[in-house]
Amino acid sequence: MEKSFQKSALLVTLTLFFCIPVSISVPFILFHGIRDQCSNGGVSSFVQLLSNLSSSHGSCLEIGNGEQDSVTMPLTQQASVACEKVKQLKDLSQGYNIVAQSQGNLVARGLIEFCDNAPPVFNYISLGGPHAGISDIPKCNSTLCELLKTAVYTDFVQDHIAPSGYIKIPTDIKDYLEHSKYLPKINNERPNERNTTFKDRFTSLHNLVLVMFEGDAVVIPKESSWFGYYPDGASTPLLSPQQTKLYTEDWIGLKTLDAARKVKFVSVPGEHLRIAQDDVVKHVVPYLKNQPASMSEDLDILHL
């Protein structure tokens, strides 16, 4: 009887010990936007700021040579490069968080949705991401911009200019769905090609933080940062994310995540990517801090 009591008491003690909450360090990676690179001062300083404020290790994941490839490498290829790099990084093998800026969000989402046998992404923080596409190219007068405006859905432009992959002209939906090589795929827009694996991977996120900049004149419309966009075939009215077919028909799982209260629709003052440190502390840092976990999640109770 006494031996049985001692055995039970030891089991209870071990159970309590192994269920003590502990903190596990979850690293994060950052994807920069177009015409930028990890070595640039603004990017490296932002990564360091996030690391200091969250006490989590962070790094910028570079695609190719950075600035040039962010413009000329197709987004499908950029996402593939990101996938292979992530799988080779041992410190990400147990899972990680993502922060992405502007175009970098579409690389991040490609990594989340397309990458096979990859470590899990827990929290994903999107800063000014053109998730539903852009309808116009602002303040752009170069030859490259002219191609984007006049020949965006040709194979040549799709294969050589990265932003062509997420230009969505609302009054030219037929050509967009037939010839755009990236956004229709990542948003599961083609009725006969919807991929449940993409949706399953996206809905596996613990938290999705969508930050929209109120003065954004780069992502047009700015509500694309929340998955809001125009209806097919018209440039008005502007639909909220909850009014789009992507949401109502749950093509990628945004509605599912939102119903589970895992989506944070955040609006901050300022121009594109101009985020105040107070807003970083409030809206970004909490999702990068060490994650609580009980030891019982990693250790089995000994059988006595």
pLDDT of residue 79: 98
pLDDT of residue 295: 36
In the three-class reduction of DSSP (H, G, I as helix; E, B as strand; rest coil), residue 134 is classed as strand
Yes or no: say if 17 and 292 are a contact pair by the CB < 8 Å rule. no
Cα separation, 33 vs 67, whole angstroms: 9
**End-to-end CA gap in the chain:** 16
Which token pair is 17? 């010990």
Helices (H) and strands (E) in the chain, counts: 13, 8
In DSSP terms, 100 is beta-bridged to 31, 126
pLDDT of residue 140: 75
Name the band, by pLDDT with cuts 50, 70 and 90, for residue 23. Answer: low
pLDDT of residue 54: 97
The residue to which tokens 């903190």 are assigned: 23
Cα separation, 83 vs 108, whole angstroms: 9
pLDDT of residue 10: 47
Name the band, by pLDDT with cuts 50, 70 and 90, for residue 22. Answer: low
Cα separation, 89 vs 2, whole angstroms: 52
Q: Given the DSSP bridges, would you call strands 207-213 and 96-101 parallel, antiparallel or unpaired?
A: unpaired
Name the band, by pLDDT with cuts 50, 70 and 90, for residue 145. Answer: confident
| pTM as predicted | 0.88
Given a cut of 70, whether residue 187 has pLDDT beyond it is: yes
Given a cut of 90, whether residue 17 has pLDDT beyond it is: no
Given a cut of 70, whether residue 300 has pLDDT beyond it is: no
In the three-class reduction of DSSP (H, G, I as helix; E, B as strand; rest coil), residue 156 is classed as helix
Q: Summarize pLDDT for 36-71 with one digit per residue, the tens.
A: 999 999 999 999 999 999 999 999 999 999 999 999
Q: Summarize pLDDT for 93-139 with one digit per residue, the tens.
A: 999 999 999 999 999 999 999 999 999 999 999 999 999 999 998 77
Q: Summarize pLDDT for 210-267 with one digit per residue, the tens.
A: 999 999 999 999 999 999 999 999 999 999 999 999 999 999 999 999 999 999 999 9
Peptide bond into 292 cis (omega under 30): no
pLDDT of residue 297: 38
Cα separation, 11 vs 15, whole angstroms: 6
Yes or no: say if 293 and 24 are a contact pair by the CB < 8 Å rule. yes
Torsion, Cα of 258, 242, 254, 81 (10° steps): -130
**Cβ neighbours of 298 (radius 10 Å):** 11
Name the band, by pLDDT with cuts 50, 70 and 90, for residue 12. Answer: very low
Q: Given the DSSP bridges, would you call strands 21-24 and 291-294 parallel, antiparallel or unpaired?
A: antiparallel
- Of residues 143 and 155, more confidence is placed in 155
In the three-class reduction of DSSP (H, G, I as helix; E, B as strand; rest coil), residue 301 is classed as coil
Which token pair is 217? 């004149």
pLDDT of residue 290: 67
